[in-house]
Structure 1
Amino acid sequence: MPRYEFRCRACGATFEVSRPMREAGEPAACPDGHADTVKLLSTVAVTGARPGGSAPAAPAGGGCCGGGCGC
């Protein structure tokens, strides 16, 4: 089940909530009982070797537009 990170505007606490994707936009109450919270944008970094020890694949194309402009 996905985890979503929230921050309480009242006390500044940051907390996570596990819920189905269909409920991702629903408000979440702060663990201290405050209702004024905001969902944070989480980023996922994928680094390291691929399974089996090979290096990550290089992106196709290149340049600023995927290679279409010749840059």
Structure 2
Amino acid sequence: MPIFEYACQDCSHAFETLVRSDTVPACPRCHSTRLEKLLSVPAKPMGQDAAPALPPGCGGCGQAAGGGCPMMQ
């Protein structure tokens, strides 16, 4: 069962729900079935294999030494 994100068109409540192929989801707040399916963004993987985010001014762009780092401006 996939998890989908919805926004209710009647009460504007945003929520996630598990949806089976034979069911019609309803808003948990007002029970309306007038829903807009939202675009889900996958979560960033966590763990030892995930690359850490570089902090601003870290030198990763090669411009930090000369003061030209766009993240430091």
TM-score under structure 1 normalisation?
0.50
Flag the structure with larger Rg: 2
**% of aligned pairs identical?**
35
Which residue in the other structure is 1:29 paired with? Answer: 26
Aligned to 1:5: 5
Partner amino acid, structure 2, of 1:30: C
Residue deviations 1:17-39 (CA, integer Å, cap 9, x gap):
1124xx3xx75221212121111
Aligned pairs (5 A) from 1:30-69? 30-31=27-28, 32-47=30-45, 49-50=48-49, 55=51
- Say how many residue pairs are matched: 49
Whole-angstrom distance in 2 between the partners of 1:39 and 1:6? 5
In structure 2, how many angstroms separate the alpha carbons of the residues matched to 1:10 and 1:55? 41
In the superposition, the TM-score normalised over structure 2's length comes to 0.49
Pick closer, same or farther for the CA change 1:37–1:55 going to 2, 3 Å: closer
Quote the Cα distance in structure 2 between the aligned partners of 1:45 and 1:35: 27
Query: SS at 1:7's partner residue?
Result: strand
Which stretches in structure 2 are left out of the alignment for 5+ residues? 53-73
User: Stretches of 4+ moved more than 3 A in 1?
Assistant: none
